[in-house]
Amino acid sequence: MLRTVAALVLPPALPFEFGTLMEVFGVDRSDEGVPPIELRVCGEVAGQPIRTTVGASLVPDHGLEGLRGADLVAVSATRGRDFSPEVLDAVRAAAADGAMILSVCSGAFVLGEAGLLDDRRCTSHWMNVDELRARYPRAIVDPDVLYVDDGNVITSAGTAAGIDACLHVVRRELGSAVVNTIARRMVVAPQRDGGQRQFVEQPIPVCTADGLAPVLDWALEHLDEEHSVSDLARRARMSERSFARRFVAETGTTPHRWLTLQRVLLAQRLLEDTVLGVDDVAARCGFGTGALLRHHFRKVVGVAPVDYRRTFRGVPA
């Protein structure tokens, strides 16, 4: 049961991520049937201002003693990476006492320093995952998901994914009716599909080899056409074997995978900027059929084309 939540805030704190914890766990919605939750805002020292990244400070009512006895310890995002032994001991003690531990975005680094991510699946903002892996090699980092529930440790990806993770905890502990009520008040989906891959900018790889760059530029301008490795090798005036070897060395992937990725990137732009139907987008990108586009799009981006368009649709070009 979720009765008490301790939100741990460490400097420099990110206010939006802190706000997600306050909105989900800190607003009294008992008049709508949501069980009351005691929320404790905790810092290293009670009453000591905590600087944020936006020129304002937060003043916690509780120190680290506020973590004791909490059903959930929620570690908010922070730009910091050096945490005091007292903070880490308090988080470890809460976990040992049976509390669920939730991190939002870069709060995962606190869990990593405390040893709570060892041999566990976890995630963080896609911009942080390489650093998280490097610092905590025993952590099993999944960069593609919005959150990971690994028993008593829940980690979320960046920013708004903290809402997804918090609502997941509510659903897990208090049921679907309660999470639906909270989500409706927040005007958010009670459960989003897909993962954070759909939000990662995937730039076109830069190719420096004189023999390959013109071929890749040409291929990008003709993605709606079929391109075999032999055709591309002939255009580059190389043997097929030499072309394939050089291609992997320059781009880090195979010609087929590179073409698929570029077609998906083009599909993303068309879904965002045009009103073309999925079949027309598929034809423009060289996938041929909507079914083939859906297969590759979901594999690369993590969601279906129609769901991606719903999220990122701009003004029609």
Domains assigned to the chain: 4-199 (3.40.50.880), 213-312 (1.10.10.60)
pLDDT for the residue numbered 201: 61
What is the distance between the alpha carbons of residues 184 and 170, in angstroms, rounded to a whole number?
14
pLDDT tens, the chain, 317 aa long: 899 999 999 999 999 999 999 999 999 999 999 999 999 999 999 999 999 999 899 999 999 999 999 999 999 999 999 999 999 999 999 999 999 999 999 999 999 999 999 999 999 999 999 999 999 999 999 988 889 999 999 999 988 899 999 999 998 899 888 888 898 889 886 666 666 665 666 555 555 545 688 888 898 889 999 999 999 999 888 999 999 888 887 777 889 988 998 899 899 889 988 999 999 999 999 999 999 999 999 988 888 999 888 877 754 43
Q: Are 232 and 255 in contact (CB under 8 A)?
A: yes
Burial of 195 (0-12, 13-18, 19+ CB in 10 A): buried
Residue 212: other Cβ atoms inside 10 A: 19
What is the distance between the alpha carbons of residues 105 and 98, in angstroms, rounded to a whole number?
22
Say whether 146 sits in a helix, a strand or coil: coil
> Which residue is listed with tokens 């922070």?
78
What is the distance between the alpha carbons of residues 137 and 112, in angstroms, rounded to a whole number?
10
pLDDT for the residue numbered 249: 77
pLDDT for the residue numbered 192: 66
User: Please, what is the angle between helix 229-236 and helix 255-273, to 10°?
Assistant: 100
What is the distance between the alpha carbons of residues 223 and 213, in angstroms, rounded to a whole number?
15
pLDDT for the residue numbered 278: 95
The structure tokens listed for 150 are 């690994």
The structure tokens listed for 39 are 């929320």
Q: CA 316, 196, 75, 179 torsion: positive or negative?
A: positive
pLDDT for the residue numbered 204: 53
The structure tokens listed for 313 are 């649709």
What is the distance between the alpha carbons of residues 81 and 58, in angstroms, rounded to a whole number?
19
pLDDT for the residue numbered 317: 37
pLDDT for the residue numbered 315: 42
